[in-house]
Amino acid sequence: MHRREFLRALPGAVAMAAGVGQGAEVPVKLGFDTYSLRAFRWKAPQLLEFAAAQKLDTIQISSLHDYESLEPEYLQTVREQAARLNITIDGGMGCVCPSSRSFSKNGPPAADRVLQGLQVAKAVGGRSMRCFMGSSEDRTGDPPIEFHMENTIKVFRSVRQQALDLGVKIALENHAGDMQAREVRTIIEEAGKDYVASCLDTGNPLWVVEDPFVSLEILAPYAVTTHMRDSIVFEVPQGAAGQWVALGDGNVDFVKFVAEFRRLCPQSSMQLEIITGRPPRVIPYFERDFWKAFPKARADEFVRFVALVKSGHPFMGAMVVEDVSGLHGPGVMKDALREQQRVDLVRSLDYAKQKLNVGVNWRS
C-alpha cells in the first residue's frame, strides 16, 4: 500500500481497532476552518503547522487568499506538507452567486471562480470545496431570494462535468442569514447531489430563525464538511438576540448534537469555525416587517427555535468585543482580539476532544 493510501485508510483502521460496529462511537475527523484565526493573517503552511500542533486530523482552508500562491508548484508543496502531518484538507472559496450583494464585481465570472476553487481544492488533495451564495441582505428587496438561488444553480450546473472529473464536491454553506436549510437543500438537489453537497454551519441558522438541530436533520444527507460553532440565544423584547461563543459556552446541546451528527453524517469532517468578539445581534421576530424575509418559514420549525431561545440567557463570560465592521480600536485591542481567537479556538478544540470525544490523531 502506498503511503498516501495508508493515510486515507487510517481513520477506518482506527475505527476497527476501537470496535466500531460493536457499540463504539463512530470516529469523526476534527479540524478547524481557517477563518477562526483570521486576525493572524497566516498562510497555509503556518495554518497546517498550527493544526499539527493541536494534533488535528483535518483543516478547511476556506479562502483562496489563505495561500501564498495558486501556482501548481506551490499548491503541491502544501499538499505534501499536509500528507507529512497526516492532515486532510477541505478546500474553500467565497460567494458564488453573481446576483448576490456579497458577490465582488471585480473579477472573473462566477463559474470561472468556482472552477478555480475546485482546481485548487484538487491540487491540495481536497475532496470538497466550500462556498456560499450570499448573506441576509439577499432575503429582502428585489430580486427575491429565489432569483439568487436559481442563479446559483445555474453557476453550479455550468461546472458539473469539471467537478465530477476532478472528484471534488461543491460544498454549499448555509451562510450568514442567506438561506434556511430547506432552501440550501433545494439548490443541492436541483443542481445535482452527485457533485453538490452541504457545508453544514451550526452558527448561521440563528439569523434565519432556525434551530441548528433542524439544519442538521435537513442537510445531514448532503453534508461533506462543516462549520461547527456554538451560540448563545436568549429572549429580548423584540424577540431574541444571538451571539456566537466558544464551543461549550452556548445553549446549543452539543453533546446531543454530535451524537446525532455521528449517526447521520459518519463521512463528514467536523471543522470548528469559532467566531467570538462580536456583540449580540437582535433577531426581531415579534416585528411584522421581519417576516417579509421569511414568507415560507414553517411554524413547526420556528417553534423549535423559540424553545431554544427560551432556554438561553445572555453570555456572562469575558469577551473582547472588537470584531465589528467599521470599528477601529487601539492596537492593544487588536492584539487582544487576535489572542482571543487563538485561545477560544484551542479551548473549543479541547472541548471537542474531551467532552465530545471527537478526533483521531490526538489519541496517539
Please list the pLDDT of the chain residue by residue as tens digits (364 residues): 444 444 444 444 444 444 344 456 889 999 999 999 999 999 999 999 999 999 999 999 999 999 999 999 999 999 999 999 999 999 999 999 999 999 999 999 999 999 999 999 999 999 999 999 999 999 998 999 999 999 999 999 999 999 999 999 999 999 999 999 999 999 999 999 999 999 999 999 999 999 999 999 999 999 999 999 999 999 999 999 999 999 999 999 999 999 999 999 998 999 999 999 999 999 999 999 999 999 999 999 999 999 999 999 999 999 999 888 777 777 889 899 999 999 999 999 999 999 999 999 999 8
Our CA angle for 192, 193, 199, nearest 5°, is: 120
* Whether 196 contacts 61, CB under 8 Å: no
Cell readout for 228 is 461547527
Cell readout for 182 is 430547506
pLDDT of amino acid 61: 98
Cell readout for 307 is 424553545
CA Rg value for the chain = 20
* Whether 223 contacts 265, CB under 8 Å: yes
Instruction: For residue 146, give every residue at least 6 positions away whose Cβ sits within 8 Å of its Cβ, in sequence order, or none.
Output: none
Cell readout for 14 is 482506527
Residue type, 34: T
Cell readout for 339 is 489572542
Our CA angle for 173, 179, 183, nearest 5°, is: 95
pLDDT of amino acid 186: 98
**What is the spatial distance between Cα 253 and Cα 266, in angstroms, rounded to a whole number?**
19
pLDDT of amino acid 46: 98
Task: Give me the residue spans of the domains in the chain.
Answer: 3-8+28-231+252-275
Q: Which fold has domain 3-8+28-231+252-275?
A: TIM Barrel (3.20.20)
Closest C-alpha to 361, from 25, 27, 6, 118 = 27
Backbone angles phi, psi at 262, to 5 degrees: -60, -40
Cell readout for 149 is 438561488
| Residue found by looking up cell 469575558 in the block | 318
SS3 272: strand
DSSP string, 124-185: TT-SEEEEE---GGGGSSSS-HHHHHHHHHHHHHHTHHHHHHHT-EEEEE--TTS--HHHHH
